[in-house]
Amino acid sequence: MGIQTSDKPLLERVKESEQDKFMQASVAKSQDAQHIKREDSRALLGNWEQWRELGEQIRQRALKYLPDYLEQFSDNVEKNGGDVFFAATEEEAVDYIQKVVKETGAKRIVKSKSMVTTEIDLDKRLLAMNQGLQLMETDLAEFILQEDDWAEPTHIVFPALSKNRDQVREIFMKLGYEGDNDPMHLARFARKYLREYFLKSDLGITGCNFAVADNGMINLVTNEGNADLTMAIPKTQIVVMGMERIVPTMNDAEILDNMLCRSAVGQKLTSYVTFEKGQVAGETDGPEHFHVVIVDNNRSRALGSEFQSILQCIRCGACMNVCPVYRHIGGHGYGSIYPGPLGAVLSPILGGYQAFQELPYASSLCGACTEVCPVKIPLHKLLIEHRRIITDQRHMQHGLNNLMMEAIGIGTGFPWLFRTAVRFGHLGLKPLASKGEVHAENFIKPEGSVKGGPGLVGGWADVRDLPLPPKNKDSFRQWFAKHKENQPKPGDQKANQ
């Protein structure tokens, strides 16, 4: 699939999302439910703000010394008997994985959930390169999307959030399901279907929540246990990880797991929190061959830049669960596999401004994301940073008329110009104003309001009425000047009486 899921303009995607009433309702419901679960589970832990500071420090340290930690990690993986491959690009990552598939002669691949493999479009590429290869996503939501002809994910934690139980039932019927739309029956069917598949699999591909530098272990966090089967059954395992998934020690991983689970799903811990490093001598489960593919794919663009902090992200999805824009436009609205505030910051870095220059503007900068982020990424500030680069440095046209903004910049920089605006605001907007009924009392004036116009005024007035500015004589500044004149001055006759 790659990062970009759609090349339609933002506006078109927004309009499509608005048509999808089921999606909007289920996102709103899930946001509201997560709000309660997340806040409760954080309160249970106590001292949440201090935990955030700790989480931020751990992630910042990992990034500051990233080359060293990556080296330490890869040395340790090799010591444990595994192989490590550094992939600068998605092509390099896919080529290496393809080489392993060929060498092992794998016929049936099982995969557990991994955003980075979606990012590098691994599934479809492997299937295209290997005739007769079977490949199965085993995370329930990813399984549903795969069976729905590789439908695009809408959330990094809940990828199938936009599918309802009837849609899932229909998808499963193609696989032989005959029951009703009860989620329990549907899940039971998927479990049996996937179990049979697991038992015959010969290669497992997993993602990686955290990679522990000082012992070369991989940390995976799931609720379904499918990642554990993906590691336990096939003889070969390939772990694919973004290069920033590193944490220095087990201790750090434990702290972050705790914060990840609470932030992602509002649980103290998920059902499965696993550390592994390939087969341990004397045991029968776990892969005999263990590969780790560490993917850059433009992440290093952020390193050392004003965007470095976005690499702190632990992919909890909390920022999408609080985002009022995501609430309405959903994952598809962003046109990226990384949606929401995280996606609006990360997608232009990984995928370039050409494809994603509209995303940094799809935010009211309300700051809910920055407030909720467990590792304190200043998301809304990074969005402004993108806007700055797009306008100041790249001089891109982005719908909002540059000239108009420059005019506002000048208007807010020169006092006399602004005073002129205050003086003539009423007259200036009067031609655009029309009389109408007053519903918003103490705000819209009987003499009329603006209901349409050019440029920004039009964007505003498409949605809401704008009161006609007061006549100059009725402005606050005029009132204040008169008010001060009438006030007794110290030393005045009046003041002394």
Partner 1 sequence: MKVVIFSTCVVDLEFPNVGIAMTEVLERFGCDCYLPKDQICCGQPTFNSGYAKGTQRAFRNQIDALLSVDADYIVGPAGSCVAMIREFPEFMKDDPQYADKAREVAAKTFEFSQFLWRVLGVENAGAELDGRATYHRSCHMTRLLGESESPYALLAHVKGLEMIPLENAHDCCGFGGTFSAKEPEISRQMVDAKVGHIVDTGAEILISCDPGCLMNIGGRFNRLGKPIKIMHIAEVLNSNVDESRISYLKQMPV
* Residue 208 in the binding site for ligand SF4 (CB under 6 A): no
For the bound state, the minimum distance from the C-beta of residue 106 to partner 1, rounded and expressed in Å, comes to: 45
| CA distance linking residue 117 with residue 124, whole number of Å | 10
Whether the Cβ atoms of residue 194 and residue 225 lie closer than 8 Å to each other = no
Q: Of the two residues 108 and 471, which places its CB atom closer to partner 1 in the complex?
A: 471
Choices 55-63, 224-232, 238-246, 461-469; region in contact with partner 1 by CB under 8 A: 461-469
Q: Which residue of 87, 190, 211, 316 would you call a contact of ligand SF4, by CB under 6 A?
A: 316
| Residue 377 touches which of ligand SF4, partner 1, none (Cβ within 5-8 Å per kind) | ligand SF4
- Taking CB under 6 A as the rule, which mask of x and - marks residues 363-382 in contact with ligand SF4? ---------xxxx-x-x---
**Positions 258 through 297 that interact with ligand SF4 (CB under 6 A):** 263
Question: Out of 144, 227, 342, 350, which residue is the one contacting ligand SF4 (CB under 6 A)?
Answer: 342
Residues in the chain, overall count = 497
Q: Give the C-alpha distances (Å, rounded to integers) separating 340 from 202, 233, 316.
A: 36, 35, 12
Contact 432, 453 (CB under 8 A): yes
Q: Does 161 bind ligand SF4 (CB under 6 A)?
A: no
* Cα Rg of the chain, angstroms: 28
Tokens of 267: 């649980």
| Residue 359 in contact with ligand SF4, rule: CB under 6 A | no
**What are the DSSP calls for 20-84, one per residue?**
-HHHHHHHHHHHHHHHHHHHHHHHHH--HHHHHHHHHHHHHHHHHTHHHHHHHHHHHHHHTT-EE
Stretch that binds ligand SF4, among 188-196, 203-211, 248-256, 310-318 (CB under 6 A): 310-318
**Residue of 474, 488, 492, 495 interacting with partner 1 (CB under 8 A):** 474
Judged by CB under 8 A, the residue of 108, 301, 327, 430 near partner 1 is 327
**Would you put residue 269 in left (φ > 0), alpha (ψ -120 to 50) or beta?**
beta
Query: By CB under 8 A, is residue 431 in contact with partner 1?
Result: no
Torsion angles phi and psi, residue 270, rounded to 5: -80, 170
Q: Buried (b) or exposed (e) across 451-484, using 16+ Cβ within 10 A? A: eebeeeeeeebeeebbbbbbeeeebeeeeeeeee
Q: How far is the CB of 328 from ligand SF4 (least distance, A)?
A: 18
Contact of 237 with 290, CB cutoff 8 Å: yes
For the bound state, the minimum distance from the C-beta of residue 375 to partner 1, rounded and expressed in Å, comes to 17
314 binds ligand SF4 (CB under 6 A): yes
Instruction: Decide if residue 93 touches ligand SF4 (CB under 6 A).
Output: no
CA–CA distance, 252 with 255 (Å, rounded to integer):
5
Handedness of CA 453, 455, 458, 460 (dihedral sign): negative
Contact call for residue 315 and ligand SF4 (CB under 6 A): yes
From CA 86, how far away is CA 78, in angstroms rounded? 13
The 3 state secondary structure assigned to 448-486 is EEECCCCHHHHHHHCCCCEECCCCHHHCHHHHHHHHHHH
3-state DSSP assignment of residue 304: coil
Q: Among 115, 387, 430, 452, indicate the residue that binds partner 1 (CB under 8 A).
A: 387
**Residue 306 binds partner 1, judged by CB under 8 A:** no
Give burial (CB, 10 Å; 0-12/13-18/19+) of 352.
middle
Specify the stretch interacting with partner 1 by CB under 8 A; choose among 57-65, 122-130, 165-173, 475-483: 475-483
Helix/strand/coil for 1: coil
Cβ proximity of 360 and 400 under 8 Å: no
CA 346 to chain centroid, in Å, comes to 8
**From 170-178, 308-316, 352-360, 462-470, span contacting ligand SF4 (CB under 6 A):** 308-316
448 binds partner 1 (CB under 8 A): no
374 binds, among ligand SF4, partner 1, none (CB under 5 to 8 A by kind): ligand SF4
The reply to whether 464 sits near partner 1 by the rule CB under 8 A is yes
Residues 480, 488, 492, 495: which binds partner 1 (CB under 8 A)?
480
* The binder of partner 1 chosen from 165, 174, 419, 435 (CB under 8 A): 419
Q: Residue 405, Cβ neighbours under 10 Å: how many?
A: 12
Residue 317 touching ligand SF4 (CB under 6 A): yes
Q: Closest CB to partner 1 among 13 and 315?
A: 13
For residue 269, state whether it binds partner 1 (rule: CB under 8 A): no
What is the closest distance, in whole angstroms, from the C-beta atom of residue 151 to ligand SF4 in the complex? 21
Residues 356-375 that bind partner 1 (CB under 8 A): 361-368, 370-371
Residue 183 contact among partner 1, ligand SF4, none, beta carbon within 5 to 8 Å by kind: none
Residues forming contacts to ligand SF4 in the complex (CB under 6 A) are: 263, 313-319, 342, 372-375, 377, 379
